[in-house]
Structure 1
Amino acid sequence: MLTVGTFVQPVTLTFAGESLALAFPSVSRINPRDVFDVNRFAYLGDSFVAGPGAGAAYDGDSCFRTKEAWGLQVANDSKLHGPKPIKNFDFIACTGAETKHIYKGAEGSDVQPKEPQASLLKDTNPDLVTLSIGGNDVGFTDLLERCVYRFKHLGCLGCGSFFGPPDDCTRDCDEAMKLLGTNIDSDDLRRKYTASITAIFENAPKSRLSVTGYPRFWNDTTDDCDNVSFKFGCNRNDFLPLIKERRSKMNQLTFRLNDKIKSFITDYQKDHKDVLQITFVDTDPYFKGHRFCEEGVKEPSYRNPDIWFFPFEYSATSKVMFSVNDQTPKGDRNAILNGGGDAGRYFQCLIANSLVDGGENDLQAQPNNVKSDSDPNLIDSKTLPGFLTRIFHPNIKGHTAYKDAFFDAYNAGKDNESPDSPKSGVKCKGLQSNTYATIAPLSDLITNTYCPLLAGMSDSIGTGHYLSGTPEAVDIFAGPSFSISKPAAPPTPTQCAQNLHKIFDECDNDSSANPMDWKAGGEVEVDGWKYSIATKAQRPPAPKHP
């Protein structure tokens, strides 16, 4: 049974009598004998490392830490060989954590620790720190509610009124995706993420830091989910169907956040030459073939061993009535997230708010109720948050994928890259051309306007001309290259956005010369397709201050 209570100080796990050592990712090749000196490993971040639902509870507190979380898998893996054993594994990550909880703590929260996660490194002085953070800051929980499950509208009630036209909440979903994109591009996220990294090195100055990105949830190239809805309590598939365009947009937001995290790391390293090492570990390619809406899978697919994320599923062998009581979170659901609460309590609050006074919902009768020999039984509605918290989080196989990504980053001797990502070869235009644009609207054009036009196309869509006559004027292009005779098939909208964003990643990223992150554009070729961003308006030299 998963319970909600007060925070318990992280437990230090001592590996006594075992000859274990921890390999860690690095961006330069180092002789193994130089790196197997890790005695202390600290594991920081949010639910994607805490591991809700991934095995038995680790310590039974409100952080939903589990024994199959990937950090513990790393610490127990046979690959950890070397002359020195690991002495301490500090499991500090907590479900619901935001960047502020790394450096600031959460005074008054009944979930998050009062002390900042980074401050707990001071006493143990770890050699290696891993971090996963940012998803809660930008609002992925809100996105799952407004674009996938819609717990706040129990049954098939949409976003319209009884007297207005039908509204399946597509517009509200679009607004949620736009808000998430704005949060990703915000200066606030950059400031808080940088503060998190700073706090880690202030408390553990001799540590190496490994930062994980987030994996995409969806296969967005198949048609299998175009007429499928995950809406809770509604068996109609015309309510928020998971069409390719919607799946693609959600995936592109994941790419966008990962790109931002990588840029934060790059900028920090440029400004702090004294830090030992920060490595970005790309987990996304390790989930290929194991996302929602894979080819041939009838969704929603419960208890599917080939899907490495949890859907909303539970096992109730007897009638379980959900009703509102004094212990049920209700009212201002945003206060739950603002207080460091987890997605489970947030979703439970939404369900409670959807019930009219005295209303009930029979959880046993829902299609999400699927028998399992390994899952704990849903005994009553008080245990429901545990099943809600793990929604769209990696299961045990997903955490093993994280572990593999971590080890491969080390074995490669550099930041691991997605096999679907373009390699080096980007040609940058440079800010000296005095034609440049603001990154946020440019990124939005790529993700939400230009690349979606490639869906279902058999050839190039040509050049997109945008914001003509303004200082932000830009041409965006994706089409077959003349350098090879037979280019690959047209890219998907997600691949298009990923390859165009590669130009962002590798061009104009000197934070000292370009602190406002202007983008002049450039071009790159991938699999016989050319991608280019050409800023058009002649402007004064790029300013360094607003």
Structure 2
Amino acid sequence: MKLSRCAGALSALALTAALALGGSGTAHSAERSSTPGYVALGDSYSSGVGAGSYDSASGDCKRSSKAYPALWAAAHAPTSFSFTACSGARTGDVLSGQLGPLNTSTGLVSISVGGNDAGFADTMSTCVLGTDSACLDRIAQARTYIQNELPAKLDGVYSAISSRAPRAQVVVLGYPRFYRTGGICAGLSDTKRKAINAASDHINSVIAKRAADHGFDFGDVTTAFAGHELCSGSAWLKSVALPVDESYHPTAAGQSGGYLPVFASAA
């Protein structure tokens, strides 16, 4: 999805501004080459914000050589690789600025999107800096959006992908649960942590349903990240970080140990 040793030093405005996350039918393997042309779309969870090693040419999109799309491409040498995922991307940004490389010869597409549409940045900053009540209220707003408005926006993106790349296998990646629950977690109550995790489960369920209805594969990363949530002692996610836009994003280990195996097993 475009904060707790130093949370008190950061304003809600700064966090909200900086935290942005960052076809019909799946093609059968016989219909594509073993190393098809691959296009990686989506938000910061696909561009690799938080993993470091950013391509300077990608600017604010912060595309990382340690992100799962780049790691998969390096290991499998697809016939072509176009990496257009961008920090902060919403569904409308994917439609307006990321679909150019798709064509009838594209064999594989990956995408993560929806968290920014649902207000990821504002929700996280509210929960980190506000009361339990304020956090729960903001999460309730986000979940109403996820349930009622996000499905149509995902449909628009998924339909556009199918139209431009009708023979491609499309793998839609979800989002991890952010926190280990129970016990003590500096800066965040268990009430907040449980509500944030439940919201992550909710958006994943909506994304998975829309993906399935378009004939796409869904990559659920929650199991891969189990035991590596924030406050687990072995986190694959950053908490509050500098630069702030890397907060609440997978580390390089989260990309290679969490996202990459899930994507590779589907692709």
Q: Do they superpose with TM above 0.5?
A: yes
Encode CA deviations 1:81-124: one digit per residue, 9 max, x unaligned. xxxx5221101101111111222x2xxxxxxxxxx3123324x8
Aligned-residue Cα RMSD (Å) equals 2.2
Q: Which residue of 2 aligns with 1:223?
A: 183
Encode CA deviations 1:295-331: one digit per residue, 9 max, x unaligned. xx4xxxxxxxx211112234xxxxxxxxxxxxxxxxx
Query: Does 2:214 correspond to 1:268?
Result: yes
SS of the residue aligned with 2:63? coil
Q: Which residue of 2 aligns with 1:209?
A: 170
Query: % of aligned pairs identical?
Result: 29
Given candidates 75, 100, 111, the residue that maps to 1:119 is: 100
Given candidates 116, 140, 161, the residue that maps to 2:120 is: 140
**Separation (CA, whole Å) in 1 of partners of 2:176 and 2:85:** 18
**Separation (CA, whole Å) in 2 of partners of 1:33 and 1:199:** 23
> Where does structure 1 lack aligned partners over 5 or more consecutive residues?
1-25, 106-115, 151-167, 230-241, 270-277, 298-305, 315-386, 411-546
Q: Please say if residues 37 and 105 of structure 2, whose CA atoms lie closer than 8 Å, have aligned partners that are also in contact.
A: yes
Q: Please say if residues 137 and 189 of structure 1, whose CA atoms lie closer than 8 Å, have aligned partners that are also in contact.
A: yes
> Where does structure 2 lack aligned partners over 5 or more consecutive residues?
1-24
Q: Which residue of 1 aligns with 2:68?
A: 70
Q: Please say if residues 51 and 69 of structure 1, whose CA atoms lie closer than 8 Å, have aligned partners that are also in contact.
A: yes
Q: Which residue of 2 aligns with 1:193?
A: 154
The one-letter code of the counterpart of 1:262 is A
**Separation (CA, whole Å) in 2 of partners of 1:219 and 1:143:** 18
In structure 2, the CA distance between the partners of 1:182 and 1:209, relative to structure 1 (3 Å rule), is same
Residue 169 of structure 1: CA displacement?
Answer: 2.6
Q: Which residue of 2 aligns with 1:399?
A: 255
Q: Which residue of 2 aligns with 1:449?
A: none
Q: Which residue of 1 aligns with 2:51?
A: 54
Q: Please say if residues 132 and 211 of structure 1, whose CA atoms lie closer than 8 Å, have aligned partners that are also in contact.
A: yes
Q: Which residue of 1 aligns with 2:3?
A: none
Matching of residues 109-508 of structure 1 within 5 Å: 116-122=97-103, 125-148=105-128, 150=129, 169-186=131-148, 188-220=149-181, 222-225=182-185, 228-229=186-187, 242-269=188-215, 278-294=216-232, 297=233, 306-314=234-242, 387-400=243-256, 401-410=258-267
**Separation (CA, whole Å) in 2 of partners of 1:206 and 1:286:** 29
Runs of 4+ in 1 over 4 A off after TM superposition: 32-36
Query: Does 2:45 correspond to 1:99?
Result: no
Q: Which residue of 1 aligns with 2:12?
A: none
**Separation (CA, whole Å) in 2 of partners of 1:61 and 1:117:** 15
Residue 267 of structure 1: CA displacement?
Answer: 2.7
Q: Please say if residues 119 and 199 of structure 1, whose CA atoms lie closer than 8 Å, have aligned partners that are also in contact.
A: no
Encode CA deviations 1:18-46: one digit per residue, 9 max, x unaligned. xxxxxxxx989x7x777543331000000
* Count of residue correspondences: 241
**Separation (CA, whole Å) in 2 of partners of 1:121 and 1:37:** 18
**Separation (CA, whole Å) in 1 of partners of 2:160 and 2:59:** 25
TM-score, scaled relative to structure 1: 0.42
**Separation (CA, whole Å) in 1 of partners of 2:241 and 2:161:** 36
SS of the residue aligned with 2:100? helix
SS of the residue aligned with 1:42? strand
Encode CA deviations 1:453-493: one digit per residue, 9 max, x unaligned. xxxxxxxxxxxxxxxxxxxxxxxxxxxxxxxxxxxxxxxxx
In structure 2, the CA distance between the partners of 1:171 and 1:245, relative to structure 1 (3 Å rule), is closer
Matching of residues 7-46 of structure 1 within 5 Å: 36-46=33-43
In structure 2, the CA distance between the partners of 1:207 and 1:310, relative to structure 1 (3 Å rule), is same
From the CA coordinates, give the structure whose radius of gyration is larger.
Answer: 1
The one-letter code of the counterpart of 1:51 is G
**Separation (CA, whole Å) in 1 of partners of 2:114 and 2:54:** 24
Residue 60 of structure 1: CA displacement?
Answer: 4.2
Q: Please say if residues 32 and 107 of structure 2, whose CA atoms lie closer than 8 Å, have aligned partners that are also in contact.
A: no
SS of the residue aligned with 2:106? coil
**Separation (CA, whole Å) in 2 of partners of 1:170 and 1:33:** 52
Residue 207 of structure 1: CA displacement?
Answer: 1.1
Identify the structure with the greater helix proportion. 2
The one-letter code of the counterpart of 2:250 is P
Residue 260 of structure 1: CA displacement?
Answer: 0.5
Q: Which residue of 2 aligns with 1:485?
A: none
The one-letter code of the counterpart of 2:208 is K
